[in-house]
């Protein structure tokens, strides 16, 4: 018999009432954030929302930003920019690994149109 492996932080397992309690928000607020695209819970066959631990962290972050006076459109933009920064950081790590492995960089695709990547490498001294 296989051992039980608990779900990871991205597993959508919490119903809206539990997610609301864990995030400190009202269930209606979670529904509003879902409609606005601030958080994207999974849906059950019956249409019920399911949230992950990562979703709950995001809900807490939204609550923190709004309590500091940031409007919901501003919060949405902050979330988008953080995702973009994460994507760029991952791409930089890939490029650094490529440079370390080969010592050369050729034909680098860029993640965003109009973005230019310049890679500098120190030559031996």
Q: What average pLDDT does the segment 34-62 reach?
A: 94
% of the chain beyond a pLDDT of 90: 62
Residue 14: per-residue pLDDT? 93
Give the whole-angstrom CA distance, residue 27 versus residue 4.
Answer: 30
What is the tally of structural domains in the chain? 2
Report CA-CA distances (Å) from 11 to 1, 47, 86, 110.
Answer: 23, 17, 20, 30
Q: What is the mean pLDDT of the chain?
A: 86
Any domain includes 44: yes
Asked if pLDDT for residue 110 goes beyond 80, the answer is: no
Mean pLDDT throughout 44-50? Answer: 93
For the segment 63-99, what is each residue's pLDDT rounded down to a tens digit? 999 999 999 999 999 999 999 999 999 998 988 888 8
Q: Looking at the domain assignment, is residue 78 inside a domain?
A: no
Query: Are 66 and 19 members of one domain?
Result: yes
Residue 79 lies inside a defined structural domain of this protein? no
For residues 24 and 53, membership in a common domain is answered with yes
Residue 55's CATH number? 1.10.1660.10
* Whether residue 125 has pLDDT greater than 60: no
Is 1 a member of any domain? Answer: no
What domain range is 105 assigned to?
84-125
Q: Report if pTM > 0.75.
A: no
Cα–Cα nearest to 25, from 79, 66, 81: 66
29 with 64, same domain: the answer is yes
**Domain assignment present for 120:** yes
The answer to whether position 97 is within a domain reads yes
Q: How many other β-carbons are positioned within 10 Å of the β-carbon of residue 103?
A: 8
């Amino acid at each position: 018999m296989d051992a039980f492996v608990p779900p990871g932080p991205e597993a959508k397992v919490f119903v809206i009432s539990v997610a609301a309690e864990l995030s400190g928000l009202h269930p209606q607020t979670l529904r509003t954030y879902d409609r606005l695209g601030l958080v994207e819970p999974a849906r059950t066959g019956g249409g019920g929302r399911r949230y992950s631990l990562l979703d709950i962290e995001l809900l807490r972050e939204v609550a923190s930003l709004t309590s500091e006076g940031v409007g919901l459109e501003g919060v949405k933009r902050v979330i988008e920019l953080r995702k973009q920064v994460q994507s760029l950081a991952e791409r930089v790590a890939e490029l650094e690994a490529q440079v370390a492995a080969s010592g050369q960089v050729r034909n680098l695709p860029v993640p965003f149109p109009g973005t230019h990547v310049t890679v500098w490498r120190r030559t031996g001294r």
